[in-house]
Amino acid sequence: MLDNKIHYRTCNLCEAMCGLEITYKEKKVISIVGDKKDPLSKGFICPKSLALKDLYEDPDRLKTPIKRTENGWQEISWTEAFDEVEIQIKKIQEKYGNNAVATYQGNPNVHNVGSMLYGGPFLKSLKTKQKYSATSADQLPHHIASLKMFGHQMLIPIPDIERTDYLLILGANPGASNGSLLTAPGFPQKIKSIQKRGGKVINIDPRFTETSKISSQHLYINPGKDALFLLSLLHVIFDQGIEEKTHLSNYLKGLEEIKEIVKEYSPKKTALLIGIDSLEIQKIAKDFMNSKTAVCYGRMGVSTQEYGGICQWLINVLNIITNNMDKVGGAMFTKPAIDLVYMTGIQGKVGNFDRYRSRVHNLPEYSGELPVATLADEILTEGEGQIKMFICTAGNPVLSAPNGKKMEKALEKLDFMVSIDIYLNETSKYANIILPTTNGLETLHYDLVFHQLAIRNTAKLSEVLFEKDENQKHDWEILNELTERITEKKNSLTPEMMLDNMFQYSPYKEANLSVNKLKENPNGIDLGSLQPLLIKRIFTVDKKINVSPQIFIDDLKRLDKELYKDTKEEETKYPFALIGRRHLRNNNSWMHNSKLLMKGKNRCTVLMSSKDANNLSITDHQKIKIISNVGSIELPVEISDEMKEGVLSIPHGFGHNRNGTKIKLAEENAGESINDLTDDNKIDKLTGNANFSGTRVKVIT
């Protein structure tokens, strides 16, 4: 009889980086609990981590490359698969040019060290401008704000939620999402701790969410109006007068400009549009500025708005002018063990914006990629530069990109498609070849991205728990093989060797970090709390923090023109504004095949306020049709006074009712996809980010 063994690792399913203690025997997980010795998470976990066992054991997971033939899917050898992909890339690029091959990198790439290290060289080898990722359906505005203000796309301020006295949360629901661009395992407990310390947490959301429930105060806002709300907060704060000199004062430029601009946005003028009383706006502004420390945090719900860029810019401005930027208890910057921001910053690799534009819709490039909202049209629109081949890595754009039905039409039209994925799902079913990868417990993990975004500096390496089967490949092995075949150059570095190279540049010299040292410390190593450090890292050309970048100032003209326009006609035709929602036991589109997570009642419902339901004589659980200008879906209603009147909510990531997939449990809990309603032509015109929040819809009973 073999004994039970213990394995420590970081959960890589969401951004929280919780430490896990896994008891196992041979190749069987016996239990997963929180690792109390993990210096970041200190024992916290959520129910999703337990699904790592389901993922490992899932009979639907692909383990061998498969090829779509006239007689259905056929298993093929890795050599045959790589040969065919190589031939197709070369053939199509030769015939139509490099840009005829497009790529899309989905969310799990950033949670996978192999994909992070080998994805870049692979994309580079293709020499194509048609690169896409989930970034432009998510956090793109954060990057543009950081690039334009601080001079580096990844210099993203992290709210110091463990030390702040006042946390203002807009468009984020850490109570369900566990936090994003803010790695803070146990976020909900931290919200409660702020209040226990005598501080306040204010939550602004069109829905009374899991986060609202534990906040000191929740205020309903009309979807899409946060830019106006932020402008009005700044109006009140400048009006009160702030002269205090800060450690950043000598490094700021553009203060006078923003001060002048916000004069136009008094709460009296904006309150009605925002849906928050002007006295409340004034109170929040004054409390924010008078708190010893305060920080404003805005995520998905504000990034994916029509003015997502303006929102993320103004959030930074608010934190700066109230003397809360780069300050304990305010918005801070990290110094991780592998300090990618610093390493790239000193080399001048800070990111780019708008060097060129997309072919069909003239949308701006961001650091070599184009907005995913235009991907389908780039495939469908004929002419020079049309996409003919598509390589999708750990992505499910049929369910995650706006206007999923159009995406399906586009994928059908391709000459060739490859998916690097663990499932035959709504997107990969359009591939000619699927290259399956290892996942979770079968992988080595070091978080290159989320240590960069965490509330505390720590370092942790997770070793492989269960060795992969002989025929399986890691993401990095697939990406590396493809890169070698295209470039005809051999790369024999493993992820461990690359990590060791990077540790040599670690700012923690005295800690002597290396792969081996981290293997000896499987719970992780604490490197201390965040410290002010921005001045040494301002990467703008003039070494100033730009409080009023011209692109945002210019974009305010669009806001002025559009936000005050008469929308009665549209609102009569489509009386409801639609928003999304996350659930603790969902993970975007791909974890609905886990038995453990699918327990409980149907989650893919439309939330509607009782007043709206009464007006339309809709009863609880009644199935209704929801219609937008791009499509319609049918779902049961859940009457819920969490919702603001006139606003509906549907979770994203469902819609597993498409034929030809192999995800049995997900198919049985199919739901419908909200992105069959969202419009690919609705974007933040400044950044190109998808605009999901506030999609106009009507309902038919």
Interacting residues with ligand SF4 (CB under 6 A):
11, 13-14, 16-18, 45-46, 48-49, 178, 185
Helix (H, G, I), strand (E, B) or coil at 361: coil
Q: Which of 11, 137, 321, 363 binds ligand MGD (CB under 6 A)?
A: 137
Task: State how far the alpha carbon of 511 is from the alpha carbons of 536, 660, 662, in Å.
Answer: 21, 52, 47
String of DSSP letters for 443-457: S-EE-TTGGGGBSEE
Phi-psi region of 645 (alpha: psi -120 to 50; beta: other; left: phi over 0): beta
Q: Taking the complex as a whole, how short is the minimal distance between the CB of residue 373 and ligand MGD, in angstroms?
A: 11
CA gap 102, 86 in Å, rounded: 14
- Give the one entry of Mo ion, ligand SF4, ligand MGD, none that residue 530 binds, where binding means its C-beta sits below a cut-off of 5 to 8 angstroms depending on kind: none
In this complex, which beta carbon is closest to ligand MGD, that of residue 302 or of residue 453? 302
What tokens appear for 532 in the block? 């002010």
Q: Taking the complex as a whole, how short is the minimal distance between the CB of residue 473 and ligand SF4, in angstroms?
A: 24
- Give the one entry of ligand MGD, Mo ion, ligand SF4, none that residue 679 binds, where binding means its C-beta sits below a cut-off of 5 to 8 angstroms depending on kind: none
| Position 477 contacts ligand MGD (CB under 6 A) | no
> Where does residue 583 rank: exposed (0-12), middle (13-18), buried (19+ CB within 10 A)?
middle
Residue appearing with tokens 């840009």: 99
In this complex, which beta carbon is closest to ligand MGD, that of residue 282 or of residue 425? 425
CA gap 589, 426 in Å, rounded: 9
Q: Taking the complex as a whole, how short is the minimal distance between the CB of residue 295 and ligand SF4, in angstroms?
A: 21
Residues 248-287 that bind ligand MGD (CB under 6 A): none
| Position 15 contacts Mo ion (CB under 5 A) | no
Q: Taking the complex as a whole, how short is the minimal distance between the CB of residue 542 and ligand MGD, in angstroms?
A: 32
In this complex, which beta carbon is closest to ligand MGD, that of residue 171 or of residue 364? 171
Task: State the sign of the Cα–Cα–Cα–Cα dihedral 45, 50, 53, 54.
Answer: negative
Residue appearing with tokens 């709210």: 159
User: Binding mask 296-315 vs ligand MGD (x if CB under 6 A, - otherwise)?
Assistant: ---xxxx--x----------
Q: Which of 154, 201, 422, 459 binds ligand MGD (CB under 6 A)?
A: 422
Q: Which residues pair with 637 in a beta bridge?
A: 606
Which amino acid, residue 188?
A: P
Helix (H) or strand (E) holding 458: strand 456-459
Helix (H, G, I), strand (E, B) or coil at 475: helix
- Give the one entry of ligand SF4, Mo ion, ligand MGD, none that residue 45 binds, where binding means its C-beta sits below a cut-off of 5 to 8 angstroms depending on kind: ligand SF4
Q: Which of 15, 35, 58, 138 binds Mo ion (CB under 5 A)?
A: 138
In this complex, which beta carbon is closest to ligand MGD, that of residue 206 or of residue 345? 206
In this complex, which beta carbon is closest to ligand MGD, that of residue 548 or of residue 593? 593
Q: Taking the complex as a whole, how short is the minimal distance between the CB of residue 138 and Mo ion, in angstroms?
A: 4
Task: State the sign of the Cα–Cα–Cα–Cα dihedral 276, 277, 280, 281.
Answer: positive
- Give the one entry of ligand MGD, ligand SF4, Mo ion, none that residue 11 binds, where binding means its C-beta sits below a cut-off of 5 to 8 angstroms depending on kind: ligand SF4
Count of Cβ atoms closer than 10 Å to residue 357 Cβ = 14
Cβ proximity of 431 and 394 under 8 Å: no
Q: Which of 270, 586, 594, 691 binds ligand MGD (CB under 6 A)?
A: 586
Q: Considering only the stretches 58-66, 134-142, 480-488, 625-633, report the one whose residues sit in contact with Mo ion under the rule CB under 5 A.
A: 134-142
- Give the one entry of ligand MGD, Mo ion, ligand SF4, none that residue 406 binds, where binding means its C-beta sits below a cut-off of 5 to 8 angstroms depending on kind: none
| Position 151 contacts ligand MGD (CB under 6 A) | no
Residues 176-235 that bind ligand MGD (CB under 6 A): 176-178, 180, 204-207, 209, 221, 223-224, 226
| Position 691 contacts ligand MGD (CB under 6 A) | no
Residue appearing with tokens 């986060």: 211
In this complex, which beta carbon is closest to ligand SF4, that of residue 189 or of residue 615? 189
Residue appearing with tokens 């319609």: 632
Q: Taking the complex as a whole, how short is the minimal distance between the CB of residue 70 and ligand MGD, in angstroms?
A: 25
Which amino acid, residue 680?
A: D
> Where does residue 94 rank: exposed (0-12), middle (13-18), buried (19+ CB within 10 A)?
exposed
CA gap 407, 426 in Å, rounded: 11
What tokens appear for 654 in the block? 């469902």
Q: Which of 314, 454, 579, 618 binds ligand MGD (CB under 6 A)?
A: 579
- Give the one entry of ligand SF4, Mo ion, ligand MGD, none that residue 221 binds, where binding means its C-beta sits below a cut-off of 5 to 8 angstroms depending on kind: ligand MGD
CA gap 438, 433 in Å, rounded: 17
Residue 401: which of 426, 384, 424, 432 has the closest Cα?
Answer: 426
In this complex, which beta carbon is closest to ligand SF4, that of residue 193 or of residue 632? 193
343 phi, psi to nearest 5 deg: -60, -45
Q: Considering only the stretches 60-68, 133-141, 284-292, 343-351, report the one whose residues sit in contact with Mo ion under the rule CB under 5 A.
A: 133-141
Residue appearing with tokens 């999304």: 580
Count of Cβ atoms closer than 10 Å to residue 543 Cβ = 10
Cβ proximity of 392 and 431 under 8 Å: yes
Cβ proximity of 669 and 656 under 8 Å: yes
Q: Which of 119, 171, 345, 371 binds ligand MGD (CB under 6 A)?
A: 171
| Position 592 contacts ligand MGD (CB under 6 A) | no
Cβ proximity of 124 and 298 under 8 Å: no
CA gap 382, 391 in Å, rounded: 19
Q: Taking the complex as a whole, how short is the minimal distance between the CB of residue 617 and ligand MGD, in angstroms?
A: 26
Residue 147: which of 159, 137, 135 has the closest Cα?
Answer: 135
In this complex, which beta carbon is closest to ligand SF4, that of residue 297 or of residue 508? 297
Question: Whose CB is nearest to ligand MGD?
Answer: 301
Helix (H, G, I), strand (E, B) or coil at 303: helix
In this complex, which beta carbon is closest to ligand SF4, that of residue 35 or of residue 306? 35
| Position 173 contacts ligand MGD (CB under 6 A) | yes
- Give the one entry of ligand SF4, ligand MGD, Mo ion, none that residue 13 binds, where binding means its C-beta sits below a cut-off of 5 to 8 angstroms depending on kind: ligand SF4
Half-sphere exposure of 694 (CA within 13 A, CB side): 27
- Give the one entry of Mo ion, ligand SF4, ligand MGD, none that residue 206 binds, where binding means its C-beta sits below a cut-off of 5 to 8 angstroms depending on kind: ligand MGD
String of DSSP letters for 530-595: ----GGGG--STTS-EESS-HHHHHHHHHHHHHHTS--HHHHHHS-EEEE----TT--TTS-TT-H
- Give the one entry of ligand SF4, Mo ion, ligand MGD, none that residue 185 binds, where binding means its C-beta sits below a cut-off of 5 to 8 angstroms depending on kind: ligand SF4
Q: Taking the complex as a whole, how short is the minimal distance between the CB of residue 277 and ligand MGD, in angstroms?
A: 16
In this complex, which beta carbon is closest to ligand MGD, that of residue 339 or of residue 638? 638
Residue 655: which of 697, 582, 604 has the closest Cα?
Answer: 604
Q: Taking the complex as a whole, how short is the minimal distance between the CB of residue 591 and ligand MGD, in angstroms?
A: 8
Q: Taking the complex as a whole, how short is the minimal distance between the CB of residue 456 and ligand SF4, in angstroms?
A: 15
| Position 475 contacts ligand MGD (CB under 6 A) | yes
Q: Considering only the stretches 243-251, 270-278, 340-348, 583-591, report the one whose residues sit in contact with ligand MGD under the rule CB under 6 A.
A: 583-591
CA gap 506, 525 in Å, rounded: 14
Which residues here bind ligand MGD, judged by CB under 6 A?
Answer: 14-15, 106-108, 112, 134, 137-138, 170-174, 176-178, 180, 204-207, 209, 221, 223-224, 226, 299-302, 305, 393-397, 400, 420-423, 425, 437, 439, 475, 579-584, 586-590, 652-653, 674-675, 678, 692-694
Which residues here bind Mo ion, judged by CB under 5 A?
Answer: 138
